[in-house]
Amino acid sequence: AQIPQVRAAVVDSLRNRAQNSKEGIVIEGRDTGSVVFPDAEVKVYLDASAEERAHRRQRQIGGDFARTLADIKARDQADFSRKLDPLRVADGAVVMDSTGWSVEKTVHEITKLVYKRRPRTKIRAE
């Protein structure tokens, strides 16, 4: 959120939810590991080329590829240069480039990392 008061409320809500979870929690977001949960045990910075992300978005919602690519590049630029919590790789995060990966491959690689960092973890989907 670009409005600081809204942003603070969202961050507080996420932190409360995680604190009240007995099993742990998986949260995704552009600054989750750097701002919301800087002390998380497992942090992944999942990336892919702008072209890959445009192809994925096009498969989801259709539309013009060139326009979708331009929109993604514009959002990246805005995210990296914004004043409030600009996008960056969180300290301690593992960077994964998922360009060319299927959803299944991406889930597999992240799950491997979780088990490596937290061997007793039981993962279940909700």
Q: What is the DSSP string of the chain?
A: --SHHHHHHHHHHHHHHHHT-SS------TTIIIII-TT-S--EEEE--HHHHHHHHHHHH---HHHHHHHHHHHHHHHHH-SSS---PPTTPEEEE-TT--HHHHHHHHHHHHHHH-TT------
pLDDT tens per residue across span 72-110: 999 999 999 988 778 899 999 999 999 999 999 999 999
Q: Is residue 123 part of a domain?
A: no
Q: Is residue 35 part of a domain?
A: yes
pLDDT tens per residue across span 93-102: 999 999 999 9
Give the tokens for residue 65: 């590829």
Range of the domain at 70: 4-117
pLDDT tens per residue across span 36-68: 999 999 999 999 999 999 999 999 999 999 999
Q: Is residue 10 part of a domain?
A: yes
Q: What is the pLDDT of residue 86?
A: 86
Q: What is the pLDDT of residue 99?
A: 98
Q: What is the pLDDT of residue 126?
A: 52
Q: Is residue 126 part of a domain?
A: no
Q: Is residue 124 part of a domain?
A: no
Domain count, the chain: 1
Domain of residue 98, CATH code: 3.40.50.300
CB atoms within 10 A of CB 47: 13
Q: Is residue 14 part of a domain?
A: yes
The rounded mean pLDDT for the chain is 91
Q: Is residue 112 part of a domain?
A: yes
Q: Is residue 82 part of a domain?
A: yes
